[in-house]
Structure 1
Amino acid sequence: MSDPSCPVPVLDAPAALAAAASLAGEFAAGAAERDARRTLPYAEVDRLAASGLLAITVPAAHGGADLPAAVVAEVFRRLAAGDPNLAQIPHSHFVYVNLLRRRGTADQRGRLFAEVLGGKRFGNAQTEFGTRHVRDHRTALTPDGTGRWRLNGTKFYCTGALFADWIPVLAHLGVDGPMHVAWVRRDAEGVEVVDDWDGIGQRTTASGTVRLRNVAVGGEWITPYATEFDGPQTYGAFAQVLHAAIDAGIARAAVEEAAEFVRTKSRPYPDAGVERAADDPLTVHAFGEMELSLRGAEALLAEAASAVDAAGADLTGSSAAAASLAVAAARAATAQVAVAVSSRVFEAAGTRSALAGLNLDRHWRNARVHTLHDPAAWKVQHLGRWALDGAPPPRHGQL
């Protein structure tokens, strides 16, 4: 857990982008080995927090840089190109900072934003196993008769929780009441974080289980959640554009690592009549097609992040819908290109690229797992309904 006595630097946009690029280079150096050994990146997460990058969306009124979504998305894309695990770990941190600024009380904002500026980190305990669907929850806050609440439930896919100081927990207020967020300390009595994540990709995110057994929660640490979706909002679009940035980073890393392999290790196919594999016209064409598709996805990502910022500046039903649709397009495109490119690089790089010791397959495994967060097909459905009938997308946290 982080040290609250060490305030982090407040980064403007150029400094944030430079820090992300620098850290991405550091993280890339050990990414393959961490994946192969499933070495959890405690030291790297500490470096990320100490850099000030996790505080870049704290509002200016609370002493933060208040950087726009366009910058945050590019920070995520750069980090993901270094190690997408280290980009995904703080995803929920940014999402719940966003909820705090939108729905938190003045006291909650004052206290928790100060924590973030002091280097503290938020995780998440949101999704559950065994419910009807991803937005169905059984975890509940129930009154204990003393003016406080008791939190009970089990959550999974709790990315960031193992590395966090605070765990925002999505729960019913009352057994069947509206959804709220309970802010609980990682070390609070009754909180157990279990490292049981065993996915084939994103292996070092520690996206495992959080068990909550009669955790005491004061009313001052409960924030409304369901009401966020009663009107126009960009909460879901902001969360989703960061996921798209992670996918774009995975794809870029796969192309760059494969290109380096082709330049230095691949042999040319005899029929090409060239000395270097990088001069084989079929290889050049394959990389050109991958670059073309990736540039298109990156452009959609940048456009989507800008649409989130535009809607935030003038929030209406129309601007919120435009942001959600732009993000849906980016999310569908980056998901598709991440999986396709991270698979095709083997075809372009040749047989030796499949050696296990290179661990080049981690890019495909990371892409395949991360793109499962939300079905890309539903993004396309909402785009199609808009194109045909002008139907606005639904309001929820996954669009």
Structure 2
Amino acid sequence: MTTTFFSTGTDYATLIARFRPVFARIAEGAREREQQRILPLELIRWLKEAGFAALRVPKEKGGDGVSLPQLFQLLIELAEADSNLPQALRAHVAFVEDRLNAPEGPERDRWFRRFLDGEIVGSGWTEVGEVKLGKLNTRVTADGNAWRLEGEKFYSTGALFADWIDVLAERSDGGGTVIALVSTRQPEVERLDDWDGFGQRLTGSGTTRFYQARVEGEHLYDFANRFRYQTAFYQHVLLATLAGIGRAVVRDVTDSVRKRKRVYSHGNAGQVKNDAQVLQVVGNIASQVWATEATVLRAAQSLQVAYETHLSDDEVRLREVNILAEVEAAKAQTIASELVPRAATELFNALGASDTRLSKALDRHWRNARTVASHNPVIYKTRNVGDWLVNGTEPTFIWQIGQGE
């Protein structure tokens, strides 16, 4: 009889005590990295050394066995230190989740050992240019017992820092859509730092090219077998990132108001820190961010239920928990996408024109929040919520982007 090990949680106080010193080191250089476009290669190494890659690996397999609410709480704190990092590691935590949902066996254990060794996974799903909606130009072709991968991806978040890339591709033999895990330790994989977005500049989200890159036979997976709550899971990483940006806004506005010396003649106090209107702005920002974080963590509970139910043979129950996870993620996105960019704008109402200087880089919070909030368009998520509530229409679990008619 096969024993199934679940990741249902650990002592969070002990866990975060291990990571907070690392997060503090990360936060120290965040502004400088933003200003000088310094990629977080060293920071990724720090996280690897702290065991980040194996957080969700079950305790019985050597990992921390954290629950999903605990994982996203940790990502929120990481995002407060530097919002680029949770997004850069988004594909990694998602692939770990996929392996947690895979059948027990030697292949899964090999991946667990890689995670324990600190190996991480980057993303290679999205294509740009002349690709029709629902189609892929990236192909894998059989080569003996292995496969050869040919194609180009953009928005390949985290690929610059990864040991492996999770690539969405089509089999050239007509066998359908697959996930190919390709090692970056080969010259046939080219990774470029050409992401030119106005926010989240250091996530490694540029172009990745594959020139007949080798993929081992055991590293090709049918996309249809991916874990069922994957869309909600991917969104939750972005939600945690937004909540962390919000916490950084609270941190910076509080510190700036406390230290600010210049006052206006028509203000309300001799010191900014005693100005009732300024304090009201800080209180509003803190309340908006608190509500966002609470919403994200509440929604994460439904993801944990979906994970713990994934082995059930009750299809009705599986449908219910996966719909709930998707709908709650969409609701949380609606809240976070509204409140965090607002908080990053309100920050300047508590300060002055001098705080708009590039040297302070406070604008990065709004730019980063707006960039994250642009993923998985919120207008379609809110429509899904309304359509489910009113008409019982299931939310969109899997979607793609490409050229329209």
Give me the TM-score of the superposition, normalised by structure 1: 0.90
Aligned to 1:7: none
Displacement of 1:136: 4.1
Aligned to 2:148: 150
Paired amino acid for 2:158: G
Aligned to 2:309: 314
**Equivalent residue runs for 1:1-399 within 5 Å:** 13-103=12-102, 106-130=105-129, 136-144=135-143, 146-174=144-172, 176-228=174-226, 233-265=228-260, 267-315=262-310, 316-396=318-398
Displacement of 1:65: 2.2
CA separation in 1, counterparts of 2:399 and 2:350? Answer: 38
1:130–1:273 CA distance, 2 compared to 1 (3 A): same
1:389–1:269 CA distance, 2 compared to 1 (3 A): farther
SS at 2:208 equivalent: strand
Aligned to 1:6: none
1:57–1:192 CA distance, 2 compared to 1 (3 A): same
Displacement of 1:307: 1.1
* 8 Å Cα contact 2:10-2:65 kept in structure 1: no
List runs of 5+ in structure 1 lacking aligned partners: 1-9
* 8 Å Cα contact 1:125-1:161 kept in structure 2: yes
Moved more, 359-368 or 312-321: 312-321
How far does the alpha carbon of each residue in 1:298-328 deviate from its partner, in whole angstroms, 9 at most, with x for none?
A: 1110111111112222351111111111111
* 8 Å Cα contact 1:85-1:202 kept in structure 2: yes
Paired amino acid for 2:160: L
1:192–1:13 CA distance, 2 compared to 1 (3 A): same
SS at 1:286 equivalent: helix
1:333–1:136 CA distance, 2 compared to 1 (3 A): farther
* 8 Å Cα contact 1:127-1:135 kept in structure 2: no
CA separation in 2, counterparts of 1:288 and 1:260? Answer: 13
* 8 Å Cα contact 1:140-1:175 kept in structure 2: no
How far does the alpha carbon of each residue in 1:349-377 deviate from its partner, in whole angstroms, 9 at most, with x for none?
A: 12111111111111111112222221111
SS at 1:242 equivalent: helix
* 8 Å Cα contact 1:17-1:71 kept in structure 2: no
CA separation in 2, counterparts of 1:115 and 1:193? Answer: 22
* 8 Å Cα contact 1:251-1:341 kept in structure 2: yes
CA separation in 2, counterparts of 1:377 and 1:241? Answer: 17
SS at 1:138 equivalent: coil
* 8 Å Cα contact 1:123-1:158 kept in structure 2: yes
Paired amino acid for 2:378: A
The percentage of counterpart residues that share the same residue type is 32
CA RMSD of aligned residues (A): 2.2
CA separation in 1, counterparts of 2:126 and 2:200? Answer: 17
1:131–1:329 CA distance, 2 compared to 1 (3 A): farther
* 8 Å Cα contact 1:19-1:53 kept in structure 2: no
Displacement of 1:154: 0.2
1:397–1:62 CA distance, 2 compared to 1 (3 A): farther
How far does the alpha carbon of each residue in 1:273-304 deviate from its partner, in whole angstroms, 9 at most, with x for none?
A: 31121222221222222222222211110111
CA separation in 2, counterparts of 1:50 and 1:350? Answer: 41
CA separation in 2, counterparts of 1:105 and 1:215? Answer: 28
CA separation in 1, counterparts of 2:40 and 2:10? Answer: 23
* 8 Å Cα contact 2:10-2:64 kept in structure 1: yes
* 8 Å Cα contact 2:49-2:118 kept in structure 1: yes
SS at 1:79 equivalent: helix
SS at 1:381 equivalent: helix
CA separation in 2, counterparts of 1:333 and 1:137? Answer: 33
Count of matched residue positions in the alignment of Structure 1 and Structure 2: 385
Displacement of 1:184: 1.2
* 8 Å Cα contact 2:102-2:108 kept in structure 1: no
Displacement of 1:105: 7.6
1:106–1:397 CA distance, 2 compared to 1 (3 A): farther
